Amino acid sequence: MSDTALRTESLTEHFGDVVARDHLDLEVAQGEVVGYLGPNGAGKTTTMRLLLGLGRPTASQRFLGQ
Protein backbone atom coordinates (compact mmCIF):
# COMPACT_ATOMS: atom_id res chain seq x y z
CA MET A 1 0.00 0.00 0.00
CA SER A 2 1.30 3.45 -0.89
CA ASP A 3 2.22 5.80 1.94
CA THR A 4 1.55 8.87 -0.24
CA ALA A 5 -0.66 11.40 1.54
CA LEU A 6 -0.97 13.75 -1.40
CA ARG A 7 0.44 14.17 -4.87
CA THR A 8 0.04 16.79 -7.56
CA GLU A 9 1.29 16.69 -11.14
CA SER A 10 1.34 19.91 -13.14
CA LEU A 11 -1.14 21.55 -10.78
CA THR A 12 -1.97 24.90 -12.36
CA GLU A 13 -4.28 27.74 -11.39
CA HIS A 14 -5.05 30.86 -13.41
CA PHE A 15 -7.03 33.91 -12.30
CA GLY A 16 -7.77 35.53 -15.63
CA ASP A 17 -4.36 36.44 -17.05
CA VAL A 18 -2.63 35.86 -13.69
CA VAL A 19 -0.86 32.52 -13.37
CA ALA A 20 -1.19 31.94 -9.62
CA ARG A 21 0.45 28.51 -9.66
CA ASP A 22 2.21 26.94 -12.64
CA HIS A 23 2.70 23.19 -13.10
CA LEU A 24 3.36 22.20 -9.49
CA ASP A 25 4.71 18.69 -8.94
CA LEU A 26 4.50 17.78 -5.26
CA GLU A 27 4.46 14.50 -3.37
CA VAL A 28 4.13 14.21 0.39
CA ALA A 29 4.23 10.93 2.32
CA GLN A 30 2.07 10.17 5.32
CA GLY A 31 3.74 11.59 8.42
CA GLU A 32 6.17 13.70 6.41
CA VAL A 33 6.64 17.32 7.48
CA VAL A 34 7.07 19.75 4.56
CA GLY A 35 7.96 23.43 4.45
CA TYR A 36 6.40 25.31 1.52
CA LEU A 37 8.27 28.57 1.05
CA GLY A 38 8.19 31.37 -1.49
CA PRO A 39 7.93 35.14 -1.86
CA ASN A 40 4.64 37.02 -1.74
CA GLY A 41 2.54 36.11 -4.76
CA ALA A 42 4.34 32.83 -5.42
CA GLY A 43 1.10 30.86 -5.11
CA LYS A 44 1.38 29.30 -1.64
CA THR A 45 -2.13 30.20 -0.50
CA THR A 46 -3.58 29.23 -3.88
CA THR A 47 -1.93 25.81 -3.61
CA MET A 48 -3.27 25.24 -0.09
CA ARG A 49 -6.79 26.25 -1.13
CA LEU A 50 -6.70 23.74 -3.98
CA LEU A 51 -5.36 20.97 -1.73
CA LEU A 52 -8.17 21.66 0.74
CA GLY A 53 -10.78 21.45 -2.01
CA LEU A 54 -11.66 25.15 -1.74
CA GLY A 55 -11.39 25.56 -5.51
CA ARG A 56 -10.85 23.51 -8.62
CA PRO A 57 -7.52 23.78 -10.46
CA THR A 58 -7.44 25.29 -13.92
CA ALA A 59 -5.43 22.27 -15.03
CA SER A 60 -3.83 19.21 -13.52
CA GLN A 61 -2.47 15.96 -14.89
CA ARG A 62 -3.17 14.17 -11.65
CA PHE A 63 -4.52 15.41 -8.37
CA LEU A 64 -4.71 13.02 -5.42
CA GLY A 65 -5.26 13.66 -1.78
CA GLN A 66 -8.76 15.13 -1.54
Binding positions for ligand ADP, rule: CB under 6 A: 15, 18, 20, 38, 40-46
What is the side-by-side order of every strand in the sheet holding 4-15? 18-29, 4-15, 62-64
* Min separation Cβ 61 and ligand ADP, Å: 20
- The yes or no reply on residue 4 touching Mg ion (CB under 5 A) is no
Contact of residue 40 among Mg ion, ligand ADP, none (CB under 5-8 Å per partner type): ligand ADP
Residue 13 CA, distance from chain mean position: 9
| Binding-site size, Mg ion (CB under 5 A) | 2
Who contacts 58 (Cβ-Cβ below 8 Å, separation ≥6)? 12, 13, 14
